[in-house]
């Protein structure tokens, strides 16, 4: 069961990017270490204005224009 008061407090206290960073921090599989990734992002702020872990946005599409993934990602972000 969800604690709505806790969820509301968290939502008001943190940005979407901070919430996503916390989710990434918890992930570890194969060679991926979320804590290492977020630490690296934090240690190099001049290189990272923002980040998004999602499917590749430039996969080849049937027209060879590679716009399909970009449009899907932009729609999902909206």
Cα separations in angstroms, 50 against 2, 3, 65: 29, 29, 25
The domain segmentation of the chain, as residue ranges, is 1-47, 53-78
Mean pLDDT of 31-40: 90
- Per-residue pLDDT band at 24 (split at 50, 70, 90): confident
Reported pTM: 0.57
Residue 51: predicted pLDDT: 67
Residue with tokens 């080849």: 60
User: Among 10-14, 17-21, 25-29, which is the least confidently predicted range?
Assistant: 17-21
For residue range 46-62, list pLDDT tens digits in order: 877 666 666 555 556 56
Residue 5: predicted pLDDT: 92
């Amino acid at each position: 069961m969800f604690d709505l008061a806790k969820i509301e407090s968290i939502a008001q206290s943190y940005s979407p990017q901070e919430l996503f960073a916390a989710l990434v921090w918890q992930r570890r599989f194969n060679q991926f270490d979320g804590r290492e990734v977020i630490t690296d992002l934090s240690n190099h702020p001049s290189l990272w204005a923002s980040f998004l872990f999602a499917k590749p946005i430039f996969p080849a599409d049937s027209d060879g224009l590679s716009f399909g993934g970009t449009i899907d990602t932009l729609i999902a972000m909206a």
